[in-house]
Amino acid sequence: MVKEMKVNYELIKKEKNTQARKGILHTNYGDYATPMFMPVGTLANVKTLTKEELKNVGSGVILSNTYHLWLRPGVDVIKKAKGLHSFMNYNGPILTDSGGFQVFSLAKKKDIVEEGVTFKSHLDGSKLFLTPELSIEIQNKLDSDIAMSFDECPPYPVSKEYMKNSVERTLRWAKRGKKVHQNENQALFGIVQGGEFEDLRKYSALKTVEIGFDGYAIGGTSVGEPKDVMYKMIDDAIINLPKDKARYLMGVGEPIDIIEGVIRGVDMFDCVLPTRLARHGNAFTKYGKINLRNAKYKEDFTPLDECDCYTCQNYTKAYLRHLIVCNEALGGRLLSIHNIRFLIKITEDLRKAIEEDKVLEYKDNFLKNYKK
């Protein structure tokens, strides 16, 4: 298809009692309501699922990953296929992560210099060099709808001095990336870093906004920090972000964290959690996560949850447990459908709660049942 615009965000309503807001993400593949949960399709597929299944669970934007696609199948293959949408035959908006997080989380040895990062491939140990320019160039070629700036994502904790230098470097990298960004119909999001340091979060946010992006992500969360620290990171970032751009909390997918993020004004979330949990036989339910391997489900002929997904409408815990215990791939597939639907349903319920100014009530009700 011919793309005609960049993804852009429209604010529809702010909730009365919190920073929660309802909005619309306008894309070349349709308009999608926010807050939204974005399933992760690292290697050009959301593990085990087809596009039809993603649509059926209410998925809008999906993620894919610059670093992983750069290695396999390689950018040239995808460019020859006329971009990632065509390669995957996916007729919906795609956001590509910049590869920054993967370099910092997957590579065993890395050497960060001003120019970029030298590191070893997690596949074969071969030496790779990724720069802000190369990350953007790859994303331009992938032709995703939303590209992400290449940033450094330090672990938790690091010294304030390290974080200060890292924030400055990430800002320089953001400028360099923006400079070479050439895909006119691809939005480019900046990433706010700064760790748990309030002044650095503020500085990173203001300076990133100064550079000017189509949306803003909050990075450096879910890297080992306590929950209250993460929530404060979100507060410290968002207060310094413009109201007319989308805000994306990277790598967050625990139900309670999605709710707390929305309360703080986050519009977009992504996480591998629902599919990863599924592969290991775990499912979200309104009462908390359950592990289907548990013997108590052996003769439990009820669905996972009160849920409208294909899995809950068709199969019992006993059957799902049987598939999981026997390592049958259909088990992980059926649990993936349910787990993704579970998180998307939370964002749907939150959107309704925003309309009715009842977000805190929704949170209380959710937590009444949900045991961590």
> Does residue 256 touch a second copy according to CB under 8 A?
no
Residues 203-242 that bind a second copy (CB under 8 A): none
> Does residue 113 touch a second copy according to CB under 8 A?
no
> Does residue 67 touch a second copy according to CB under 8 A?
no
Query: What string marks each residue from 120 to 149 as x (binds a second copy by CB under 8 A) or -?
Result: ------------------------------
The DSSP 8-state label assigned to residue 297 in this structure reads G
- Give the binding range for a second copy (CB under 8 A) out of 16-24, 95-103, 249-257, 319-327: 319-327
**Residue placing its CB nearer to a second copy in the complex, 49 or 262:** 49
CA distance 94 to 104: 22
> Does residue 329 touch a second copy according to CB under 8 A?
yes
User: 58 to each of 85, 338, 341, 343, 368, how far by Cα in Å?
Assistant: 18, 11, 7, 10, 25
Of 326, 368, 371, 372, the one binding a second copy by CB under 8 A: 326
Q: Which of 13, 16, 68, 64 is CA-nearest to residue 35?
A: 13
8 Å CB contact between 9 and 25: yes
Count of residues that bind a second copy according to CB under 8 A: 34
CA distance 356 to 187: 31
> Does residue 316 touch a second copy according to CB under 8 A?
yes
**Residue placing its CB nearer to a second copy in the complex, 72 or 172:** 72
**Residue placing its CB nearer to a second copy in the complex, 68 or 164:** 68
Q: In what order do the strands lie in the sheet with 30-34?
A: 8-14, 21-27, 30-34
The DSSP 8-state label assigned to residue 371 in this structure reads B
In terms of Cβ atoms closer than 10 Å to its own Cβ (0-12, 13-18, 19+), residue 51 is middle
We find the least distance from the C-beta atom of residue 301 to a second copy, in angstroms, to be 6
- Give the binding range for a second copy (CB under 8 A) out of 5-13, 81-89, 266-274, 338-346: 81-89
Radius of gyration of the chain (CA): 20
Q: Which of 1, 54, 30 is CA-nearest to residue 275?
A: 54
> Does residue 45 touch a second copy according to CB under 8 A?
yes
Of 164, 317, 333, 351, the one binding a second copy by CB under 8 A: 333
Cis peptide, bond prior to residue 157, ω within 30 of zero:
yes
- Give the binding range for a second copy (CB under 8 A) out of 27-35, 180-188, 283-291, 294-302: 294-302
- Other C-beta atoms lying within 10 Å of the C-beta of residue 328: 13
**Residue placing its CB nearer to a second copy in the complex, 73 or 157:** 73
> Does residue 47 touch a second copy according to CB under 8 A?
yes
3-state helix, strand, coil in the chain (%, to 5): 45, 20, 40
Structure tokens, 38 = 């974005």
Of 48, 59, 144, 149, the one binding a second copy by CB under 8 A: 48
Of 322, 348, 349, 357, the one binding a second copy by CB under 8 A: 322
> Does residue 301 touch a second copy according to CB under 8 A?
yes
CA distance 249 to 24: 16
Kindly list the catalytic residues: 97, 270
> Does residue 28 touch a second copy according to CB under 8 A?
no
Q: Which of 106, 81, 101, 84 is CA-nearest to residue 93?
A: 84
Of 10, 31, 50, 212, the one binding a second copy by CB under 8 A: 50
Binding site for a second copy (CB under 8 A): 43-45, 47-50, 72-73, 77, 80-81, 87-89, 298-299, 301, 310, 314-316, 318-319, 321-323, 325-326, 328-330, 332-333
